Amino acid sequence: MKKILALLAAAALVATTFAFAGCEKKVEDADANVDGEAVEGEVEGEVAEGEDKEAVEDEENAATEDEKEEEKEDETVAEDEGKLVMATNAYFQPYEYFEGDKIVGIDVEIAEAIAEKLGLELVIDDMEFNSIIAAVQSGAADMGVAGMTVTEERLESVDFSYSYANGVQSIIVAEGSAITTVDDLYAEGADYQVGVQLATTGDIYSTDDFGEENVTRYSNGSEAVLALQGGDIDCVIIDNEPAKALVAANEGLVILETSYADEDYAICVKKGNTELLDKINVAIEELTAEGKIEEIVAKYIK
Ligand code: ARG
């Protein structure tokens, strides 16, 4: 009996080792695919098989050089290229939004000020809000700056800088709505459809509170507001400043006086990238002391 158990344990160990190796490989491949270089290197290595030995060795050396080069790049993406890539979702006025074909806003100006202090050029990469953390994790972007709330769950995937702003989750309803305070949403027998931007804290909290079946997710706040105007949903839960901008730009909507949640906004970086995180934190401290952050905020929030 004992022997069978031992055998089973050994088998399990082998299985996990394999599974783990499989996992690691996938991660490597995903990394390699980002810029395609390593993939090319591998393919070339295979083709070289069977050719004379010297050529093969040359190829291999070249591949190793490539890999080394790439590892170095991975460690300090920003400094190597002189660029600081910011992942954001530019449908979040006044933090980030399009003015013509230019992305402007509080986050953009703060990020620009940070990049300047670091001697780097800011590059803005606009994407779905839902993709920002993955972009930072993969190294496709150096940091996520998107009015992003610090949450316990996100802290498991990324590191956050010092907070540079406070956020409040507000509730937008149509004028004359039966929903007049946040408590109405929790009332006995209440069955409202809440609209949110996918993967935001509005989405996470309201799904927790009101259940999956009562939450409709949209790609951005404007789409949610359009659905509210069309009567598809009963309210939109979204950060207060974007809520104000949306209500100002759309007829027949109001923001409830009672808010839904209070939060802190911060910049996220790849987990363990303390080198960049420290620099960002120093920059935030300096910009705060210089009154620069306040100045930027005052420009957009009257
Ligand atoms: N503060 C909310 C969150 O972190 C919403 C942020 C949405 N930001 C944006 N750029 N669309 O989940």
User: pLDDT-based confidence at 80, cuts 50/70/90?
Assistant: low
Helix-strand-coil percent breakdown of the chain, rounded to 5? 55, 20, 25
Q: Is 129 in the pocket of ligand 1 (CB under 6 A)?
A: yes
267 near 160, Cβ under 8 Å? yes
Whole-number mean pLDDT of the chain?
Answer: 82
Q: What's 83-164+266-300's CATH class?
A: alpha beta
Whole-number Å distance, alpha carbon 85 to ligand 1 midpoint, is 18
What average pLDDT does the segment 40-45 reach?
33
Other C-beta atoms closer than 10 Å to the C-beta of 186 total: 10
248 pLDDT tier (thresholds 50, 70, 90): very high
Check pocket membership of 222 for ligand 1, CB cut-off 6 A.
no
Q: Which pair of structure tokens corresponds to residue 139?
A: 């190294």
Residue of 14 and 247 predicted with greater confidence: 247
pLDDT of residue 71 exceeding 80, the answer is no
Atom 5 (ligand 1) nearest CA: 200
Q: Ramachandran region of residue 301, left (φ > 0), alpha (ψ -120 to 50) or beta?
A: beta
**Whole-structure pTM value:** 0.75
pLDDT score of 7 = 37
Is residue 170 lining ligand 1, measured as CB closer than 6 Å?
A: no
Q: Which residues touch 217 (CB under 8 Å, ≥6 apart)?
A: 195, 196, 197, 198, 199, 203
CA of 76 to the centre of ligand 1 (A): 27
Instruction: Of 39-43, 212-216, 229-233, 292-296, give the lowest mean pLDDT range.
Output: 39-43
83-164+266-300 and 166-263 in the same fold: yes
pLDDT band for position 172 (cuts 50, 70, 90): very high
Share of the chain above pLDDT 70, in %: 74
> Which CATH architecture fits 166-263?
3-Layer(aba) Sandwich (3.40)
What mean pLDDT is predicted for residues 174-199? 96
Q: Taking residues 253-262, report their average pLDDT.
A: 93
pLDDT band at residue 50, thresholds of 50, 70 and 90? very low
Instruction: Kindly state if the Cβ of 96 falls inside 6 Å of ligand 1.
Output: yes
Q: Give the mean pLDDT of 21-28.
A: 30
CA dihedral 242, 157, 82, 24 (to 10 degrees): -140
Identify the pLDDT of residue 121. Answer: 97
Give me ligand 1 centre to Cα 243, in Å.
Answer: 12
pLDDT in tens, 204-228: 999 999 999 999 999 999 999 999 9
Q: Is 89 in the pocket of ligand 1 (CB under 6 A)?
A: yes
Query: Residue 34's closest CA among 134, 150, 149?
Result: 134
Q: Of all atoms in ligand 1, which is nearest to the CA of residue 201? A: 12
Choose the residue to mutate in 150, 158, 201 for probing ligand 1, maximizing ligand atoms within 8 Å of C-beta: 201
Out of 104, 128, 148, mutate this one to test ligand 1's pocket (max ligand atoms within 8 Å of CB): namely: 148
Strand, coil or helix: 133: helix
Please report which confidence band the pLDDT of residue 23 belongs to, taking 50, 70 and 90 as the band edges. very low
* pLDDT(57) > 80: no
Got the DSSP string for 164-227?
EEEEEEEEEEETT-S--SHHHHHSTT--PPEEEETTSHHHHHHHHHH-GGGEEEESSHHHHHHH
CB atoms within 10 A of CB 126: 14
Q: What is the pLDDT of residue 259?
A: 87
Q: Rounded to the nearest whole angstrom, what is the distance from the C-alpha of residue 149 to the centroid of ligand 1?
A: 7
What is the pLDDT, as a whole number, of residue 78? 53
Measured distance CA(59)–CA(134) in Å, rounded: 33
| Confidence at 286, pLDDT banded by 50, 70, 90 | very high
Question: Which of 78-82, 131-135, 177-181 comes out lowest in average pLDDT?
Answer: 78-82
Residue 92 has pLDDT above 90, yes or no: yes
Averaged over 159-164, what is the pLDDT?
98
Percentage of the chain modeled with pLDDT above 90: 72
**Poorest-confidence range of 64-78, 108-122, 285-299?**
64-78
**The predicted structure's pLDDT at residue 21:** 34
Give me the residue spans of the domains in the chain: 1-81, 83-164+266-300, 166-263
Ligand 1 pocket member 97 (CB < 6 A)? no
Q: Is the Cα torsion angle 10, 11, 12, 13 positive or negative in sign?
A: positive
